[in-house]
């Protein structure tokens, strides 16, 4: 039986992933929604934080990913809400958002290979080629998304409200 904590964590994770893809899409089309950015940052932070509520007897790789994610999110949130995307902080925000989304999707893929019988049969120890190939493709896709997002937004003036409005 799946616990309420597990359901909540999964739902928050999926909401964060969906919001994250919308935010990255907005980077690519040079527009943004402060509300969607807030949803993405809140749900992705909640995903990383709630991961620590699960019982564990030792430090796991998921804990390391959670720490990295929370550090990336701290810089991303700071760039957006405190530095208002001024100067290089716009790039920090974009890269941080893409990395935070990648880490959330990375963990979703790991969990999918652990919990989905057909995927588990393909890679029971997650050291097999199907798992490694999936994660490599995922990494390449996110690198391309990150580079494209930065390039699409590099010529935006700091005080512009297009595409990523600085907050007043």
115: exposed, middle or buried (Cβ count in 10 Å: 0-12, 13-18, 19+): exposed
Cβ pair 97, 40 in contact under 8 A: yes
SS3 call for 86: coil
Q: What is the pTM of this model?
A: 0.91
- State yes or no: pLDDT of 166 exceeds 60: no
Give residue-wise pLDDT tens across range 26-69. 999 999 899 999 999 999 999 999 999 999 999 999 999 999 99
Give residue-wise pLDDT tens across range 2-14. 799 999 999 999 9
Q: How confident is the model at residue 96 (pLDDT cuts 50, 70, 90)?
A: very high
Looking at residue 78, its pLDDT comes to 98
Looking at residue 2, its pLDDT comes to 72
Looking at residue 46, its pLDDT comes to 97
CA distance 7 to 129: 30
Looking at residue 112, its pLDDT comes to 96
CA distance 82 to 45: 17
Average model confidence (pLDDT) across the chain? 92
């Amino acid at each position: 039986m799946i616990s309420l904590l597990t359901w909540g964590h999964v739902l928050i994770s999926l909401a964060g992933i969906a919001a994250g893809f919308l935010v990255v899409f907005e980077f690519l089309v040079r527009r943004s929604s402060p509300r969607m950015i807030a949803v993405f940052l809140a749900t992705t932070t909640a995903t990383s934080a709630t991961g620590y509520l699960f019982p564990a007897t030792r430090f796991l790789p998921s804990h390391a990913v959670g720490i990295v994610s929370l550090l990336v999110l701290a810089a991303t949130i700071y760039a957006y809400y405190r530095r208002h995307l001024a100067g290089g902080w716009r790039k920090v925000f974009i890269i941080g958002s893409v990395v935070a989304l990648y880490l959330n999707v990375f963990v979703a893929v790991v969990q999918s290979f652990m919990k989905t019988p057909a995927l588990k049969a393909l890679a029971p120890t997650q050291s097999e080629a199907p798992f490694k190939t999936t994660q490599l493709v995922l990494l390449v896709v996110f690198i391309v998304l990150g580079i494209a997002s930065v390039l699409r937004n590099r010529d935006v003036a700091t005080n512009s409200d297009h595409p990523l409005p600085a907050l007043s």
